[in-house]
Amino acid sequence: MKSLVEKFPAQLKKAIEIGKATTFKPAKNEIKNVLICGLGGSGIGGTIVSQIIKDAIKVPVLTCNDYHIPAFVNENTLVIASSYSGNTEETLLTIEQAIQAKAEIAAVTTGGKVLEICKEHGFNYILNPGGMPPRSTMGYSVTQQLFVLEKYGLISSLYTDQMALAANLLLKEKENIIKGADELAAKLLNKIPVIYSADNFEGIAIRFRQQINENSKMLSWHHKLPELCHNEIVGWTEAHKDIALVVFRNDDDFYRTAKRTDFTISKVKPLVSSVTEVYSKGASMLEKAFYFVHFGDWVSVLIAEKRNIDPVEIAVIDELKEALATLK
């Protein structure tokens, strides 16, 4: 897993090549809304994409991390099915429902049943390289979802252009990222990480939590501002020295959110083992998002290294799949 994290900038560049080389047929109908369906490592990309493009796209973009699509899906909906393996059972079921709803369907995958369905029905799709744990392929997932939206004319090429800039930024900052990630990994060792971010970067906080879960084999939770200032902040009433707080911040966070963040940190800091503020780098929201993603991925694998555990192993998920296979 560590080598895959290190190759992440190269993955972004490869994803751009694949996206640019893929051609799409135009939509059958006008697209009035978008639903991105996916789970786990394939699903979180949809959340991050929806936040990155929200100030530019003119139609609503929602995500679905479940077996069932919402009732609004119809012939004017673009359903993007994101499944790295191509065999995610929840995503396959949402595709079936989207077909029944006569939606425009496009997929981001490496093969499996998703690819079979796309070929059978003539759906658009972007094919990524296989053979990696889905959580290590965020670069492919996000990049290709952006390309799907671009190819349908819902966003400009600005975002896919920014992917190349993000890759270069991560290469430039490699030593600083690894150094900072190692320092944070030491603080999180044998602690429960609590992750805070501004609302528009919640997808990043979720991604980091997921990586802590899967790579580091640790429990964690996250929340976002300003929402947590209306509930969770009241729960900080006593010391929790088994907790370490991580706060993702940007120099251009909305000034009132920034003030809330400062206040929250001042109240929580005396109660936890440590507070680490991680500031983004980059000129665009996309670059900042991928700076956070890469930084968090490094933290998760370095914790695994310090704990002397295998970050790739997901035996309990494999066990769950076997149990589900007995259901009809």
**The domain that contains 296 carries what CATH number?**
3.40.50.10490
Question: Based on the domain organization, do 160 and 190 belong to the same domain?
Answer: no
C-alpha–C-alpha distance, residues 57 and 14, integer Å = 25
Question: Based on the domain organization, do 186 and 224 belong to the same domain?
Answer: yes
Residue 94: inside a domain? yes
Question: Based on the domain organization, do 23 and 122 belong to the same domain?
Answer: yes
> pTM for this one?
0.94
Question: Based on the domain organization, do 92 and 183 belong to the same domain?
Answer: no
Residue with the two structure tokens 């799949």? 321
**Mean pLDDT across the chain, nearest whole number?**
95
Query: pLDDT, tens digit, for every residue of 309-324?
Result: 988 888 888 888 888 8
Question: Based on the domain organization, do 19 and 160 belong to the same domain?
Answer: yes
pLDDT beyond 90 at 185:
yes
Segment 299-311 mean pLDDT:
94
Question: Based on the domain organization, do 86 and 144 belong to the same domain?
Answer: yes
What total of structural domains would you count in the chain?
A: 2
Q: How confident is the model at residue 135 (pLDDT cuts 50, 70, 90)?
A: confident
Segment 281-299 mean pLDDT:
96
pLDDT beyond 90 at 38:
yes
Q: How confident is the model at residue 299 (pLDDT cuts 50, 70, 90)?
A: very high
Q: How confident is the model at residue 326 (pLDDT cuts 50, 70, 90)?
A: confident
C-alpha–C-alpha distance, residues 11 and 93, integer Å = 29
Question: Based on the domain organization, do 13 and 139 belong to the same domain?
Answer: yes
Residue 245: inside a domain? yes
Q: Where are the extended beta strands (E) located within the chain? A: 33-37, 61-64, 77-83, 104-109, 124-127, 192-198, 221-225, 240-249, 272-279
Residue 319: inside a domain? no
Domain coverage including residue 153: 2-166
pLDDT at 133: 83
Helix (H) or strand (E) holding 33: strand 33-37
Question: Based on the domain organization, do 134 and 8 belong to the same domain?
Answer: yes
Residues marked as catalytic: 214, 230, 321
Residue 320: inside a domain? no
Closest CA to 62 of 74, 50, 53: 50
Final residue in a domain of this structure, among 137, 166, 195: 166
The full length of the chain comes to 328
Residue 328: inside a domain? no
Residue 316: inside a domain? no
C-alpha–C-alpha distance, residues 206 and 138, integer Å = 13
Question: Based on the domain organization, do 9 and 52 belong to the same domain?
Answer: yes
pLDDT at 311: 87
Final residue in a domain of this structure, among 166, 190, 209: 166
Closest CA to 288 of 201, 190, 194: 201
Question: Based on the domain organization, do 158 and 240 belong to the same domain?
Answer: no
Query: pLDDT, tens digit, for every residue of 54-112?
Result: 999 999 999 999 999 999 999 999 999 999 999 999 999 999 999 999 999 999 999 99
Question: Based on the domain organization, do 8 and 139 belong to the same domain?
Answer: yes
pLDDT beyond 80 at 328:
no
Residue 314: inside a domain? no
Asked if 194 contacts 244 with a C-beta cutoff of 8 angstroms, the reply is yes
Question: Based on the domain organization, do 29 and 148 belong to the same domain?
Answer: yes
Share of the chain above pLDDT 90, in %: 87
Q: How confident is the model at residue 49 (pLDDT cuts 50, 70, 90)?
A: very high
Residue 325: inside a domain? no
